[in-house]
């Protein structure tokens, strides 16, 4: 089992880019539908293309909103891959870029979160106060003493040979966001483990921290 890692977070809340609020159609020639490129497919496989249904009103016609979490600048190569696949960029925020894409383009499957927010969603929604930014986080070992036990998901009956990857966004002693992945892919199992993580109690601090572990 790998050691738990902890990241201290100061993510800004993602908002609809100002350029998109007018709901103007993309400039002609900005997007040339051509189907998914090899790079787009790679981004989907690596879960770097997210659905953004809450921004549907900002896309024109039958296009749908997608989010590129690593594309934090207008010249980022992920935006180029999106345009080459037929998408139009709405604008970048401090945590990524929203694009409008043909509905036929593949998108990363929804993460297994146990019914709550994913790790990434919790990060995107979190804006620390000054006091939270200065607060000291528990060590990885203290979080690991909880997350690494493994007994909390014993009832999920993980098959022998199955690998688990768990990410928990922790604030105030509870997981406010969870993402669980399994190899091979077993969504029902991943949901069971994610729900179990949501019930755990962690060392309490006001700041949001992200901790990860594998089994």
For the whole prediction, is pTM greater than 0.75?
no
d(CA 100, CA 89): 6
Domain count, the chain: 2
d(CA 178, CA 159): 21
Residue 32, domain extent: 18-101
Is residue 140 domain-shared with residue 192, that is, in the same domain? yes
d(CA 80, CA 16): 20
User: How many CA within 13 A on the CB side of residue 50?
Assistant: 18
Distances in Å between the Cα of 76 and the Cα atoms of 42, 97, 134, 161 are: 15, 9, 31, 38
Is residue 91 domain-shared with residue 150, that is, in the same domain? no
Is residue 120 domain-shared with residue 92, that is, in the same domain? no
pLDDT (tens place) for every residue of the chain, 215 residues total: 444 555 555 443 334 444 444 444 444 334 455 578 899 999 988 878 888 777 788 888 889 999 888 888 888 999 999 999 999 987 766 678 889 999 999 988 777 888 888 888 888 888 888 877 777 766 667 888 899 988 999 999 999 989 898 999 999 999 999 999 888 878 899 999 999 999 999 988 888 888 889 89
Q: Is residue 193 part of a domain?
A: yes
Q: Is residue 8 part of a domain?
A: no
Is residue 168 domain-shared with residue 149, that is, in the same domain? yes
**Listed residues 56, 83, 101: the one ending a domain:** 101
Q: Is residue 84 part of a domain?
A: yes
Is residue 91 domain-shared with residue 45, that is, in the same domain? yes
Radius of gyration (Cα) for the chain, nearest Å? Answer: 19
Is residue 83 domain-shared with residue 166, that is, in the same domain? no
d(CA 36, CA 116): 30
């Amino acid at each position: 089992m790998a050691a738990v890692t902890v990241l201290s977070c100061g993510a800004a809340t993602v908002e609809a880019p100002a350029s998109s609020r007018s709901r103007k159609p993309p400039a002609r020639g900005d997007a040339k539908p051509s189907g998914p490129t090899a790079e787009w497919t790679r981004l989907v496989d690596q879960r770097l293309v997210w659905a953004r249904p809450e921004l549907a009103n900002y896309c024109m016609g039958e296009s749908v909103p997608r989010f590129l979490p690593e594309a934090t600048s207008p010249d980022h190569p992920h935006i180029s891959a999106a345009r080459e696949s037929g998408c139009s960029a709405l604008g970048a925020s401090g945590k990524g870029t929203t694009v409008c894409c043909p509905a036929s383009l593949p998108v990363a499957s929804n993460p297994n979160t146990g019914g709550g927010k994913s790790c990434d969603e919790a990060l995107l929604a979190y804006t620390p106060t000054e006091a939270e930014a200065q607060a000291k986080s528990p060590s990885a070992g203290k979080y690991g003493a909880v997350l690494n036990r493994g007994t909390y998901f014993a009832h999920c009956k993980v098959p022998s040979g199955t690998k688990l990857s768990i990410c928990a966004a922790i604030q105030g002693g509870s997981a406010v966001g969870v993402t669980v992945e399994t190899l091979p892919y077993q969504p029902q199992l991943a949901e069971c483990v994610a729900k179990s993580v949501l019930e755990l109690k962690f060392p309490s601090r006001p700041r949001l921290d992200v901790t990860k572990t594998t089994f």
